[in-house]
């Protein structure tokens, strides 16, 4: 009887991912290790494993996986894998970005509101038990937000900033029609930067985006 497909997991939350992946696909033979323990993993088992779920793995780990054909990245950015010296160019690399839009949107909104609402100054006044009556929040309504890289993550950031009443413009490799946003070629970014209140970078790290800003 042929052994089930083996999926190796190297991740700092190894037990959580092992449980989730086994639940999602019981036909997979899944084993997981924390990156600090990965070099001590079972060599015989790994020799037959064809897939790896990871964010980062220790140097030398891939020597244990001579039959590797696929790497599933645990995050959205894959530049650290695409440029990894131990990863052959014929190994497929896929990424996960389905839910990162909400996380990044909260991150962006949190930082922007902290500044616009003068939260640091408010906290300082509160700590000093001082009424700072002249502290007024900045009105973000009708101010411009630019988002470079308008995929799923960039779109979710744009939707969130719109709830503040901001005018959102997305930038991609070229102009494209969109039912919800104005999306322009990134070559036009210099025309808009000086007019923007906020600039978000949601583009992948590639040769094309290196040094863009």
Q: What is the CATH number of the domain that holds 55?
A: 3.40.50.720
As a whole number, mean pLDDT of residues 64-88 equals 92
Per-residue pLDDT band for 12 (boundaries 50, 70, 90) equals: very high
Q: What is the b/e burial string over 29-38, where b = at least 16 CB atoms within 10 angstroms of the residue's CB? A: ebbbbebeeb
Asked whether residue 109 carries a pLDDT value surpassing 90, the answer given is: yes
- % of residues, the chain, pLDDT over 90: 84
Q: Any alpha helices (H) in 83-180, and if so which ranges?
A: 100-116, 119-127, 152-162
CB 145 within 8 A of CB 197: yes
As a whole number, mean pLDDT of residues 85-101 equals 88
Q: Check whether residue 156 and residue 119 sit in a common domain.
A: yes
User: Does 1 fall in a domain?
Assistant: no
Q: Check whether residue 191 and residue 107 sit in a common domain.
A: yes
- % of residues, the chain, pLDDT over 70: 98
Q: Domain span at residue 24? A: 6-94
DSSP run (H or E) holding 182: strand 182-185
Q: Check whether residue 105 and residue 85 sit in a common domain.
A: no
Rounded CA-CA distance 158/170 in Å is 8
3-state secondary structure of 197: coil
Rounded CA-CA distance 179/6 in Å is 43
Per-residue pLDDT band for 3 (boundaries 50, 70, 90) equals: low
As a whole number, mean pLDDT of residues 177-186 equals 95
- Among 57, 78, 94, identify where a domain stops: 94
Q: Check whether residue 166 and residue 186 sit in a common domain.
A: yes
Asked whether residue 176 carries a pLDDT value surpassing 60, the answer given is: yes
Q: Check whether residue 197 and residue 108 sit in a common domain.
A: yes
* CB count in 10 Å sphere of residue 133: 7
Q: Give the pLDDT of residue 1.
A: 38
Q: Give the pLDDT of residue 213.
A: 87
Residue 70: phi and psi, rounded to 5, are: -150, 135
User: Does 11 fall in a domain?
Assistant: yes
User: Does 163 fall in a domain?
Assistant: yes
User: Does 56 fall in a domain?
Assistant: yes
Q: Check whether residue 32 and residue 50 sit in a common domain.
A: yes
Query: What average pLDDT does the chain have?
Result: 93
Token pair belonging to 209: 């985006």
Q: Check whether residue 70 and residue 147 sit in a common domain.
A: no
Residue 113's alpha-carbon distances to 17, 108, 118, 164, in angstroms, are 33, 9, 8, 10
User: Does 43 fall in a domain?
Assistant: yes
Q: What is the b/e burial string over 45-69, where b = at least 16 CB atoms within 10 angstroms of the residue's CB? A: ebeebebbbbbbbeeebbebbeebe
Q: Check whether residue 88 and residue 106 sit in a common domain.
A: no
Q: Check whether residue 25 and residue 75 sit in a common domain.
A: yes
Q: Check whether residue 115 and residue 83 sit in a common domain.
A: no
Q: Check whether residue 86 and residue 11 sit in a common domain.
A: yes
Q: Give the pLDDT of residue 206.
A: 81
Asked whether residue 2 carries a pLDDT value surpassing 70, the answer given is: no
Q: Check whether residue 117 and residue 192 sit in a common domain.
A: yes
Q: Give the pLDDT of residue 4.
A: 67
How many domains would you assign to the chain? 2
User: Does 68 fall in a domain?
Assistant: yes
User: Does 206 fall in a domain?
Assistant: no
């Amino acid at each position: 009887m042929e052994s089930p497909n083996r999926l190796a997991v190297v991740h700092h939350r190894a037990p959580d991912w092992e449980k989730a992946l086994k639940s999602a696909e019981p036909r997979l033979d899944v084993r997981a290790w924390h990156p600090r323990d990965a070099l001590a993993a079972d060599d015989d088992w790994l020799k037959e494993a064809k897939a790896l779920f990871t964010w980062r793995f220790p140097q030398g780990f891939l020597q244990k996986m001579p039959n590797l054909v696929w790497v599933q990245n645990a995050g959205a950015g894959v530049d650290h894998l695409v440029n990894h010296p131990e990863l052959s160019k014929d190994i497929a690399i896929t990424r996960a970005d389905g839910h990162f839009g909400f996380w990044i949107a909260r991150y962006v909104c949190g930082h922007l509101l902290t500044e616009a609402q003068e939260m640091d100054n408010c906290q300082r006044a509160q700590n000093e038990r001082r009424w700072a009556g002249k502290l007024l929040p900045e009105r973000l309504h009708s101010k411009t937000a630019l988002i470079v890289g308008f995929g799923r993550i960039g779109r979710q950031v744009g939707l969130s900033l719109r709830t503040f009443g901001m005018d959102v413009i997305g930038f991609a490799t070229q102009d494209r029609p969109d039912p919800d946003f104005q999306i322009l070629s990134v070559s036009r970014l210099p025309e808009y930067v000086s007019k923007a209140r906020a600039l978000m970078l949601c583009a992948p790290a590639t040769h094309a985006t290196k040094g863009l800003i």
